[in-house]
Amino acid sequence: MTTQSDPPKRNGFRLSQLIYDTRYRSITLQVIALLLIGGGLYWLYSNTVTNLAAQGKDFRLDFLWKRAGYDINQQLIPYTSNDTHIRAAAVGMFNTLLVAGLGCVFATILGIVFGVLRLSKNFMASRLAAVYVEGFRNVPLLLWIVAIFAIVTEATHQPRDFKTGDASMLFNESVAITNRGTFIPSPIFGAGWELLAIVAVLAIGAAVWLRKWSIKRQAATGESPMPIWLGIVLVIAAILLVYSLQAGLMFALLSIIKVAIIVAIAVIGYRVAKTFVPNVLAALIAAALIILWQYFIAGPFWGMFGFQPAFNPSVTFDYPELGGFNFSGGLQIRNSLIALLLALSLYTGAFIAEIVRAGILSVSKGQSEAAFALGLRANRTMSLVILPQAMRVIIPPLISQFLNLTKNSSLAIAIGYMDIRSTLGGITVNQTGRELEGILLTGMFYLILSLLISAGMNWFNNSVKLKER
């Protein structure tokens, strides 16, 4: 038995359909919402223009090209107080990018290490990781920034202590850690440094290509891929070779001979020692032989020849020297930058550690059991089996942590680090009275930076997620 129904009659469009017809209702609601939002924005804009006009102000950006007149203590690009406000904003922008970029790297490393340690079966390691995570994520970030800044400032020596002998420089008199900052050698680029930069880029590209090629070869033949450390060694060797050749042919030949002697001492010492002692102890003996040669024997040995080739490199270093009341020369890293970087890294690393722990726990236990059954050790199982599968769970919340770290860097104003919030959004606004323009530009910078970070991390997430057929 079948039934037939009449086709719906077409009576034309009625206004009531905008609400009761599901085909039009969503469009109606969206249009109403758009009108309300547009009306609200217009009301805010008109009120702002009216109030600014009442105060004799208008919306202009010409203040950016006027003289700034204030100093910035940490600079990545040249700047003086006679430069414009827009250049001061650029200095602050680079300072923000510096602390945000380094903070994301350090926080990720800390998060991975402590996230894995929290799952360790070693009682002491897991409890220490738990103390770190709970200690940092349950105390406001601002307090950590101020506390670490106070520790860094109060726990280090004054420059005059280096003159009296109460403190000494580190790493062969090249690094000085003081309560005014850390002084390190700064590079001076001479003629020919461009060739060194090109070689570095080509070497990195070649190492990346070799790594990808070895991975494809592993899929086809089963042979192990080229280890990452070997790629790093090749890049460093290529750069040092070109650097030595630029300094002079005889200097390059002598440097190669010196390096070859050190490598020979390490290899021969390790192989001879491991026939009598365990591998770890053999490695320590080889390291001790290298130190013995380099610091006690090499100097008198090469001194017997009385030959010192000319050394004219394309890149030299300016070392810090104590003069007067402070160090001069070299590169000064302010304690405000060190404290802010440490606080942001440690604080965000605690949250990332929990994300990593959750990602690892999301991987089935059978995966690690299967890896152990194949004979893989615990560290290889973690790096080759567990972490790659956990990445699809780790990366989405990791994006939020990177964005939080970037925006939290604006707390630098509490310890005097001159980021974009302190320059454009602080001193420039106070000097020019252009608070609306300054804050809008500062907010736009953080918005664009956050969108770029999100876009980059989403691209990375798509590249590592599981591909379903």
Tell me the whole-structure pTM to 2 decimals: 0.77
Asked whether residue 52 carries a pLDDT value surpassing 50, the answer given is yes
**Average pLDDT of the segment spanning 437-453:** 92
- Cα 38 to Cα 45, 48, 220, distances in angstroms: 10, 15, 59
Contact 263, 255 (CB under 8 A): no
Give the span between the Cα atoms of 466 and 404, in whole angstroms. 27
Cα 411 to chain centroid distance, Å, stands at 18
Q: Please give the structure tokens belonging to residue 72.
A: 């910035």
Question: Which one of 46-50, 141-145, 275-279 scores highest in mean pLDDT?
Answer: 141-145
Q: What is the pLDDT of residues 380-400, one digit of tens each?
A: 888 788 888 888 888 889 989
Asked whether residue 40 carries a pLDDT value surpassing 50, the answer given is yes
pLDDT band at residue 256 using 50, 70 and 90 as cut-offs? confident
Closest CA to 308 of 248, 226, 259: 248
pLDDT band at residue 404 using 50, 70 and 90 as cut-offs? very high
Contact 199, 244 (CB under 8 A): no
**Average pLDDT of the segment spanning 362-382:** 84
Tokens 């609306």, residue?
436
Tokens 């440490």, residue?
342
CA angle 402, 404, 410 (to 5 degrees): 115
Q: Report the chain's C-alpha Rg in angstroms.
A: 31
Give the span between the Cα atoms of 151 and 337, in whole angstroms. 13
pLDDT band at residue 1 using 50, 70 and 90 as cut-offs? very low
> Which residue type sits at 78?
P
φ, ψ for residue 179, nearest 5 deg: -80, 0
Instruction: Considering only residues 275 and 346, tell me which one the structure prediction assigns the higher pLDDT.
Output: 346
pLDDT at 144: 94
